[in-house]
Amino acid sequence: MSIFANNILVTGGAGYIGSHIVEQLIKKKTKVFIYDNLITGHKRLINKKAEFIKGDINNFRQISKIIKDNKIDSIIHLAAYLNIKESEKYKKKYYKNNVGGTLNLVKACKNTNVKNIIFSSSCSVYGDTSGLVKENKKPNPKSYYAFTKYKSEVIIKKYSKKLNYKYGILRYFNVAGASKSGKIGEIEKSHGHLIKNLAIESVKSKPLISIFGKDYQTKDGTCVRDYIHVSDLADIHISALRKIHNNRKSLIINCGYGKGYSVKEIVDIFKKIKKKTLIRYKKRRRGDVSQVYADISKLKNILKWKPKYNNIKKILISAIKWEKKLAK
C-alpha cells in the first residue's frame, strides 16, 4: 500500500539525501520518479525500483511533460548546487540553478495534479546565530548559497496560493551517516563536512584531522553543531509529506535532533576507532559561530516524529563503513 500519494517526483533523487528519501519511499510501495542531471548526483545512488529520468531542473518543457504525463501529485525538491565557497564565486550559476530551477518547477505545476511540495532548505538561511534556533527566527542568510535557499523558500510560499498546493519547507541542520542497507551514502567530498572528512581520513593509515578553533565559549572550546542521521532526515520528509497531504496545511520545520555535539567530542570518538589519528589545531574559520542546534518542538509536536538513529557514534561508524566501501 502507498503511504498516501500515487506518484512522487524526487528532484535530485540521485544525490546523497535524495537517494535515502527514495529508498524509504520505495519501501512504502510508492511510485517514485527520480529527476537528476547527475552533475552532483551519481548513477551508483539511483534506486533501480524507481523510474529514473535524466534532466535539468531548468528545462521547463521537460519537467512540465514529466509532471503531466506521469500524473505527479507530490514533489520532493532537492535539486541544487550545494557548495558554499563555490556559491560566492559563481553566483549566476547558483542563482540560475537553485532559484531559477525552483521557479521553473513550481510554474510547471500549473494545471496539474500536484498538491504537495516538500522543499530541501537549510539552517543556513538563519544566518549568524547561536544556541537554540526556532523556525520563527527571521531569515538573514550570509552566504550566497543560503541566499538561494531563502529565495527558493519565498518562491514556494508565493506560488502555493496561486497554484493551490501545500508546502513543507525543511531546514536541515548537519546531515551525516549512511543507510544501514550499505547501498547508499555520501560520495561528494567537496562540502567539507566534519563527519564526511573523518570518514575520508578513516581509510588512511595515519589520519590527520584539523580542528578550527579551540577558544570558543563552549564546554571544550570547540564548535558545537546539531547532527542528524541521513536516514532520519529522509523519514522526516515522508512524515512532512503525509502531514501536509492529510491536513492541507503548509509548514516550516527544523530538521535536527535538538542536541549539539562539539567537534572535539566527535573527534575523540573517532580517535577510539582509529588509534593513530593526529590532531592539528588551526585558527578559527571566518563565519563559524560557537554553537547552533535546532529547536525541534514542531518536529515532535506537529509531525509526532521520533528519531531512530540518534547516536553520534553510530552515525560516525555508518559513514566510515560507507567510505570503506567507496575505497574498494
115 and 215 together in one domain: no
139 and 193 together in one domain: no
76 and 93 together in one domain: yes
Q: For residue 289, give the amino acid letter.
A: V
- In-domain check, residue 46: yes
Between the alpha carbon of residue 200 and those of residues 40, 82, 205, 271, 282, the distances in Å are 18, 19, 11, 14, 19
Q: What is the pLDDT of residue 3?
A: 58
171 and 194 together in one domain: no
The low-confidence residues of the chain, meaning pLDDT below 70, are: 1-4, 191
141 and 262 together in one domain: no
168 and 210 together in one domain: no
Q: How far apart are CA 118 and CA 12, in angstroms?
A: 13
- In-domain check, residue 91: yes
- In-domain check, residue 158: yes
Q: How far apart are CA 45 and CA 52, in angstroms?
A: 11
218 and 312 together in one domain: yes
* Inter-residue contact 9 to 70 (CB < 8 Å): yes
Q: What is the pLDDT of residue 290?
A: 87
105 and 239 together in one domain: yes
Cell of 45: 545512488
> The domain containing residue 242 runs over which residues?
7-175+228-255
Q: What residues pair up with 118 in beta bridges, in sequence order?
A: 76, 168
Strands 74-77 and 116-122: parallel
Three-class DSSP labels, the chain: CCCCCCEEEEECCCCHHHHHHHHHHHHCCCEEEEEECCCCCCHHHCCCCCEEEECCCCCHHHHHHHHHHCCCCEEEECCCCCCHHHHHHCHHHHHHHHHHHHHHHHHCCCCCCCCEEEEEEEHHHHCCCCEEECCCCCCCCCCHHHHHHHHHHHHHHHHHHHHCCEEEEEEECEEECCCCCCCCCCCCCCCCCHHHHHHHHHCCCCCEEEEECCCCCCCCCCCEECEEEHHHHHHHHHHHHHHHHHHCCCEEEEECCCCCEEHHHHHHHHHHHCCCCEEEEECCCCCCCCEEEECCHHHHHCCCCCCCCCCHHHHHHHHHHHHHHHHC
190 and 282 together in one domain: yes
- In-domain check, residue 66: yes
- In-domain check, residue 303: no
Question: What residues are annotated to the active site?
Answer: 145
Q: For residue 300, give the amino acid letter.
A: K
Q: What is the pLDDT of residue 4?
A: 66
Q: How far apart are CA 286 and CA 288, in angstroms?
A: 6
Q: What is the pLDDT of residue 188?
A: 87
- In-domain check, residue 67: yes
221 and 237 together in one domain: no
Mention every residue, 6+ apart, whose C-beta is less than 8 A from residue 36.
Answer: 11, 12, 13, 14, 15, 18, 46, 52, 54, 55, 79
Domain boundary among 255, 271, 299: 255
CATH number at residue 189: 3.90.25.10
* Inter-residue contact 54 to 34 (CB < 8 Å): no
Q: What is the pLDDT of residue 129?
A: 83
188 and 96 together in one domain: no
* Inter-residue contact 156 to 119 (CB < 8 Å): yes
Which residue from 146, 134, 133, 124 is spatially nearest to 293, judged by alpha carbons? 133
Q: What is the pLDDT of residue 1?
A: 42
Q: What are phi and psi of 180, to 5 degrees?
A: -70, -10
- In-domain check, residue 299: no
Q: How far apart are CA 48 and CA 99, in angstroms?
A: 29
155 and 66 together in one domain: yes
- In-domain check, residue 298: no
Domain total of the chain: 2
Cell of 219: 564546554
Cell of 315: 552515525
Q: How far apart are CA 132 and CA 139, in angstroms?
A: 15
User: Could you tell me the pTM of the whole model?
Assistant: 0.95
